[in-house]
C-alpha cells in the first residue's frame, strides 16, 4: 500500500544522509570532511482514519497535517 495522503497527495520524498568527520575549524580543527553519502527516504506520517463522507463512514489514509488542519471530519 502506498504511503500517500488521499487528501493532499503528500508522499515519500528522497534525500541524503551525509556523514562528516573531523573537527570544525571554529573549534581548532582543519575542517569537516564528507566521508559518506547514502540515499534515504522521508516518510509522511500517514494514518488510517475513519472519515465521515457523503453521509457515510469510510476508511481513508490521511496525513496528520490534514487531520490537524480540519480537512477531514472524523467519524
Query: pTM (2 decimals)?
Result: 0.76
User: Is residue 31 a contact partner of residue 25, using CB atoms and an 8 Å limit?
Assistant: yes
User: Is residue 42 a contact partner of residue 13, using CB atoms and an 8 Å limit?
Assistant: yes
Report d(CA 12, CA 4) in Å as an integer: 7
Dig out the grid coordinates for 40 from the structure. Answer: 534515504
pLDDT, tens digit (0-9, with 9 covering 90-100), for 13-71: 999 999 999 999 999 999 999 999 999 999 999 999 999 999 999 999 999 999 999 99
What residue spans define the domains of the chain? 13-68
Specify the CATH number of the domain 13-68.
Answer: 2.20.150.30
E strand or H helix at 53:
strand 46-53
Contacts of 69 (CB under 8 A, 6+ apart): none
Amino acid at each position: 500500500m502506498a504511503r500517500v495522503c488521499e487528501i493532499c497527495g503528500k508522499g515519500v520524498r528522497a534525500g541524503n544522509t551525509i556523514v562528516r568527520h573531523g573537527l570544525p575549524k571554529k573549534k581548532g580543527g582543519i575542517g569537516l570532511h564528507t566521508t559518506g553519502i547514502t540515499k534515504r527516504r522521508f516518510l509522511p506520517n500517514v494514518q488510517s482514519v475513519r472519515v465521515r463522507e457523503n453521509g457515510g463512514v469510510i476508511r481513508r489514509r490521511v496525513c496528520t497535517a490534514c487531520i490537524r488542519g480540519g480537512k477531514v471530519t472524523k467519524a
